[in-house]
Structure 1
Amino acid sequence: METNAYIKTATADKIATITFYSAASNSFPSTLLDELTHTITELSASTAITTIILQSEGTGAFCAGASFDELLSIQDKATGKKFFSGFANVINAMRKSPKLFIGRIHGKTVGGGVGLAASCDYCFATEHASIKLSELAIGIGPFVIEPAVSRKIGKTAFTSMSLAAHEWKTASWAQQHGLYDEVYDTIDRLDLELQTFAQRVSAYNPEAITEMKNIFWEGTANWDQLLTERAEISGRLVLSEFTINALNSFKKK
């Protein structure tokens, strides 16, 4: 398992910035998912902030989804369910938070990373921030993140992404379908516009922000149970011979 993955938090004025990192293209081992959930929950309870920026380190991939090494280490259904529940817990923590989440999607993102972007209330991206749901190609599916992704881009676009599991969708496509709100040609421009936006919205009435969050996420009260059930499906399928062979094949590339 990766030992140098981390979560960092910085706070300025009413804005908190969460930065995640792992050496494998910012993919998520279970420990990092647990730490991200804990960080979001702590910040959500703070009265000193109104806005949370979610970003990753580097200039390469924003997030490569689940850790392939950890997926290959799963030996039973209970462990599989627990791992995929990590993504469920992060999404639900973002959903329940009274804070506004702004996504900084600087590069390509796959699988669970698309779920994180979809769970943000507003997303800034660069032209290099292509997206892909590759889960079917490795024998599972984007079950846990589907509710969050479909909520943003609709079931039809989600279906298109899921079945074209080897195909990258462009940042422009993601913007057209509602995943990204703003797309810029450079990271520098993205950061300038993001900071301006964050400073503006962070000054809004916190009570109004909380009420708006309730409206943004209407109809999702059942997600605690739903995402856990979806994690169970993924946890079962990750043990299949198809998935084990596919994961090993991907790792060799």
Structure 2
Amino acid sequence: MEFKYLQLERNDQVLTIWLNRPDVHNAFNPDVIQELHSCFNALNQSDEIRVVILAGRGKSFSAGADLNWMKAQGEAELTDNEADALKLAQMLDALATLKQPAIARVHGAALGGGMGLASACDICIASTEAQFATSEVRLGLAPSTISPYVIRAIGARQASRYFLTAERISAKHAHDIGLVHEVTEPEHLDQEIQEIVEALLLGGANAQTASKQLIAMVSNQPVNNALLDKTARHIAHLRQSSEAKDGLNAFLNKQRPTWVKTTSEE
């Protein structure tokens, strides 16, 4: 895949997607959104890529939407404006529902839509210099399309503050409120991510996809007979899969499952 605003780096089973508009702090425009969506759709068809890392070139992860684009959309017809916004919403959904685990590598600013990207990833690792914000209200807007993922990450109570104040959130505080999983010094950011990648590669690919689906299925649902039935069916189908049979047999026989390459550490 070749793109104008993205750079792809593949290292065996791991693909890093670099947002590559450093001169505008990797701000979104329609082309960036379309390229990201196309990339995510292609990854969902790939069995060769096991882990996806989303990163930004230059000083920032992503400063969110290109303001000139947002201004132009505000002057467009409502139907065109809605269709344009839906493309961003669909791109974020494609990221959130990737079959592969997705890691956000956040340094510098992750503002507005950039915070949305970080929230839509399964795992977020941040430099101590990273800063987050849902900055939309200061532009007379709301964090509409990113809200499902940010609220999922930090909860409605924290969103009640930061959606309304648009305050900058330090990496440490982002960790405290659940947005960031690990905070590390800038020079150790890639090492920290590599450790997460190695842990991910020890799991079965189909099992990880099923686990992502499980979280979406169970999260915020009442524990009732319907949910018990869903979770029982979920594990029953997995137990019959060839991947599960391979993994269980390997564990019982003190061997590696076939999906683990010999370079991975146990």
Shorter-chain TM band: 0.7 to 0.9
| Alpha carbons 1:9, 1:17 under 8 Å: kept | yes
TM-score by length of 1: 0.80
| Alpha carbons 1:124, 1:183 under 8 Å: kept | yes
In the TM superposition, what is the alpha-carbon distance from 1:50 to its structure 2 partner?
A: 1.4
In the TM superposition, what is the alpha-carbon distance from 1:119 to its structure 2 partner?
A: 0.6
Amino acid at match of 2:172: S
Please list, as runs of the form range in 1=range in 2, the aligned pairs for 1:209-248 lying within 5 A after superposition.
209-218=208-217
Residue 185 of structure 1 aligns with which residue? 185
SS state of the match for residue 24, structure 2?
coil
Return 189-198 or 210-219, whichever deviates more.
Answer: 210-219
SS state of the match for residue 179, structure 2?
coil
Q: When the two structures are aligned, how many residues end up with a matched partner? A: 214
Structure scoring higher RCO (CA < 8 A, sep ≥ 6) equals 1
Residue 32 of structure 1 aligns with which residue? 32
SS state of the match for residue 169, structure 2?
coil
1:50-81 per-position Cα deviation (integer Å, ceiling 9, x unaligned): 110011111x1211111101112222212322
Please list, as runs of the form range in 1=range in 2, the aligned pairs for 1:55-134 lying within 5 A after superposition.
55-58=55-58, 60-74=59-73, 75-134=76-135
- CA-atom RMSD in angstroms: 1.6
Amino acid at match of 1:199: E
Please list every run of 5 or more consecutive structure 2 residues that lacks an aligned counterpart in the other structure: 220-266
In the TM superposition, what is the alpha-carbon distance from 1:179 to its structure 2 partner?
A: 0.7
SS state of the match for residue 217, structure 2?
coil
In the TM superposition, what is the alpha-carbon distance from 1:219 to its structure 2 partner?
A: 6.1
CA distance in 2, matches of 1:195, 1:146: 29
| Alpha carbons 1:29, 1:67 under 8 Å: kept | yes
Indicate the structure (1 or 2) with the bigger Cα radius of gyration. 2
1:144-178 per-position Cα deviation (integer Å, ceiling 9, x unaligned): 1111100010001111111112x211111110111
Return 198-207 or 32-41, whichever deviates more.
Answer: 198-207
| Alpha carbons 2:96, 2:122 under 8 Å: kept | no
Amino acid at match of 1:15: V
In the TM superposition, what is the alpha-carbon distance from 1:196 to its structure 2 partner?
A: 2.3
Amino acid at match of 1:196: E
Please list, as runs of the form range in 1=range in 2, the aligned pairs for 1:148-227 lying within 5 A after superposition.
148-165=149-166, 167-186=167-186, 188-218=187-217
Please list, as runs of the form range in 1=range in 2, the aligned pairs for 1:13-24 lying within 5 A after superposition.
13-22=12-21, 23-24=23-24
Residue 227 of structure 1 aligns with which residue? none
1:29-50 per-position Cα deviation (integer Å, ceiling 9, x unaligned): 0111011010011012101111
Runs of 4+ in 1 over 4 A off after TM superposition: none
SS state of the match for residue 93, structure 1?
helix
TM-score by length of 2: 0.76
In the TM superposition, what is the alpha-carbon distance from 1:21 to its structure 2 partner?
A: 1.9
